[in-house]
Structure 1
C-alpha cells in the first residue's frame, strides 16, 4: 500500500488524538494558522526534510506513517518551490485512521536525522 510520512512533535500528535484529526502543516504552522496544506514526504525525503527544517530540534520527533488510500482530504504531489522534487501535500486535516503507524524518530550517532528505516516501509 502506498505510504507517505509526516514529522510531528509528540505533543502535537497527542493533541490530535484528543481532537480527532491532525492539523499541523509543518513546524510552527497549522491549518488553523492560514496554512493551506499539511507537508508530507516520501520515504527518501524524510531525512532531508528533518535535517533542513528540524536541525535545531533536540527532542525525538514522531514519524507518522500514512496510508494514502485511507486519506479523506485531497493529496497532491507538487513541486511548489520549483526545486525539481515533488512532495506530497495534504489539502485538509489528516484523519487519524490514515495513520497506520507512529514511530519515534531520533537522531543518529552522527547527530543527523537518519533515513527512514526499512521497517517503516512495510
Structure 2
C-alpha cells in the first residue's frame, strides 16, 4: 500500500486530484515507513490531515518510484502517481495527527481482517 496526505476537507470520496498534478505532474505519496517524513516536511503541526491508503494495483494511472521532489537528503525514493486517483483505489482513510509537540511519527501498521 501507498499513502497520500491531504486535508480531511480535500477528500470527498470521489476521484482525487491533488494540486501537485498541475505544478509537478504527479501526486506525492509515501509508503508506511516514510509518510511521517513527508508530513513533517510539508505539514508540520497541522491537525486537519488524513492519510489516503491506496492500493497500487487499483490505480488506473501510472505509478513510479522516484527521488523525492525535492530530493530527500538520504536519497529515499517515494511513489508518485501520474494522474488522478480513482476512489476505488482508496481502500481506507485514516486520521493523521501529530504528537503533542507537533511532530508526526510513523503510523502503526494497518491491520487487515
Give unpaired runs (5+ residues) of structure 1.
none
1:10 maps to 8
- Structure richer in strand, relative to its length: 1
**CA deviation profile, 1:31-60 (whole Å, cap 9, x unmatched):** 2x3330000001111111111110142x23
How is 1:24-103 mapped onto 2 (pairs within 5 angstroms)?
Answer: 24=18, 29-31=19-21, 33-57=22-46, 59-79=47-67, 81=71, 83=73, 84-103=75-94
Q: Secondary structure at the match of 1:94?
A: coil
Root-mean-square deviation over aligned CA pairs: 1.8
**CA deviation profile, 1:44-102 (whole Å, cap 9, x unmatched):** 11111111110142x23111110111010100000153741110000011011010000
Higher normalized contact order (CA 8 Å, seq sep 6+, divided by chain length): 2
Q: Secondary structure at the match of 1:51?
A: helix
What is the TM-score of this pair, normalised by structure 2?
0.85
User: 8 Å contact 2:29–2:81 — kept in the other structure?
Assistant: yes
Give the 4+ runs in structure 1 shifted more than 6 A.
none
1: distance between equivalents of 2:88 and 2:28? 18
What is the TM-score of this pair, normalised by structure 1?
0.80
Question: How many equivalent pairs are there?
Answer: 109
